[in-house]
Amino acid sequence: MANKDRAELTPKISALEAKIRRSDYRQGKLEKTINRLKKIILDLKLKTLTENVDIDSISEGGYRKTSTEKTKQTVIFQTLKDYSDVPRSQKKRILTGGGAVPSAHVVAFYAYMSANEPNPGKHHTVIFNTVITNVGSSYNHHDGVFTAPTNGVYVFSWNLYSQFHGLIASELMVNSASKGGRLSDSRSVSEDHSSSGTLVVEISQGDIVYIRTHQTLSISGNINSYPSSYQSSFCGWLLI
């Protein structure tokens, strides 16, 4: 290409590049404006849902209408599916930290035995009398029983130490039904052994949950718990 032709094209190319840059800038501003408007629309829609949702008018397959707050949560999750391009951080803020869905119940407890339980025998309710956490005040440290304040899926975990040369079989009870058991066997060793269990169960408001020694298996020795070193403990929390 002749130098003269190059000289004539250079200004045109520069002008075209400048035009592309201006177009990219305007497109970027437009995308930001669209995203900002989407956020405003989403916030307004969620605010309307959380303020005006009528639980009697909602019917979703498999959903038990147990509380207004749970119904709102379900509707909001469905709404967020329609906004798949909304940033993850914004969804998290809306569902957990933005105040759109206040939690109807926050439930969590943790307690341990303050001393050894000598020779508890069969069918014995274990009382974890030292309470560290009891959010919702649903665990009773006098009788070792947790009473569900609301319907839901809960997680429960317990840990028991059997005395050396002892045998402790335990189970987690919901009302009068065993939901799972654990065995701590120290009969053949000269040291304390521990056994722990974790269960996820769906229970109803007013159901009681507790730990007891097995009703038929032989029990021997103490349940050990030493606050200064290791403890036999029981905890639980509302999952959903």
Q: What is the pLDDT of residues 52-87, one digit of tens each?
A: 544 444 444 444 444 555 555 555 555 555 555 555
DSSP string, 138-192: -EETTTTEEE-SSSEEEEEEEEEEEPTT-EEEEEEEETTEEEEEEEEE-TTSSS-
115 burial type by CB count under 10 A (0-12 exposed, 13-18 middle, 19+ buried): middle
C-alpha–C-alpha distance, residues 157 and 200, integer Å: 9
Mean pLDDT confidence for 18-43: 73
Q: Which of 157, 212, 220 is nearest to 193 (CA)?
A: 220
Tokens standing for residue 169: 């079989």
**Per-residue confidence band for 3, with pLDDT thresholds at 50, 70 and 90:** low
Mean pLDDT confidence for 151-179: 92
Q: Which of 90, 162, 96 is nearest to 126 (CA)?
A: 162
Query: What's the pLDDT score for residue 97?
Result: 46
pLDDT of residue 26 exceeding 50, the answer is: yes
Q: What is the pLDDT of residues 94-113, one digit of tens each?
A: 454 444 444 457 899 999 99
